[in-house]
Amino acid sequence: MSAKGEGWLIVEDEELVAVLIEDAIAELGLTTIGPADRVVKALALLDRHHPQGALLDINIAGEEVYPVAAALRDRKIPFAFLTGYGESSVIAGYATRPVLQKPFMAGQIEAVIRQMVAETESAAAT
């Protein structure tokens, strides 16, 4: 798997879920940035790092993660949403992004990361 970028940004406020995500990413031989448990922390990490991709919980401690999603979109960094509220909780401007429904398994995290890596590599080849 390609290692372009500094790692995968995790934005998740539930510690056990963040650990599951970190472990799944490590199983792929990739590194992580974070986890960030607040939107402001995630934005600060983006100021210091250029992630390969990101996994974003939609609701971070009562805040929506869309400012982070906008920053990633502007930088053309792939990302997927994590949510316990279903795909309908994703606002219209981000409806094309992958969504993992909580609870999810490590294999689903790996699959969405592989999908985003493949899309990035395909776009770079054209």
Q: What percent of the chain has pLDDT over 90?
A: 78
Task: Tell me the domain boundaries of the chain.
Answer: 8-125
pLDDT in tens, 32-55: 999 999 999 999 999 999 999 999
Burial label, 126 (beta-carbon count in 10 A; 0-12, 13-18, 19+):
exposed
Which residues lie below 8 Å from residue 85, measured CB to CB, with a gap of 6+? 58, 59
pTM of the model: 0.92
- Contact predicate 1/28, CB 8 Å: yes
Structure confidence by residue, pLDDT tens digits, 17-37: 999 999 999 999 999 999 999
CATH number of 8-125: 3.40.50.2300
The string of pLDDT tens digits covering residues 77-103 is 999 999 988 777 899 899 889 999 999
